[in-house]
Amino acid sequence: MVSDEILRTHLQELRRGTVVVASLVALRHPDYGYALLQRLTAHGFPVDANTLYPLLRRLEEQGLLTSEWNTEESRPRKFYRTSADGEAVLARLLDDLAAVQTSVTGLIEGAKR
């Protein structure tokens, strides 16, 4: 029987790339980090804050997200939103994700090439 640790490691590797896709999709509507963390978790993408915040900064540095501070509330919050470049990258990632799913389905069903 496969250990929980081995399974956990492989699930983590599988989800690592999908968190980028999920974040870009979710941030089509502006949100701040903690709310995004909760929304991703609620939709089956559990991610640690120590992973998400550096990811948001990296995506922003790459121009895939834009951000602005909301200081109207009692506590200032940085809101992120998927940029036009982020939408373009997301479209390619979603196409590739669909192609990977098709390939895996073909392997499962025994399709020949």
Tens digits of per-residue pLDDT, 34-75?
Answer: 999 999 999 999 899 999 999 999 999 999 999 999 888 888
Residue 113 has pLDDT above 80, yes or no: no
This prediction has a pTM of 0.87
Backbone φ and ψ of 81, nearest 5°: -150, 145
| Extents of the domains making up the chain | 4-112
CB atoms within 10 A of CB 45: 18
CATH number of the structural domain 4-112: 1.10.10.10
Residue 13: predicted pLDDT = 86
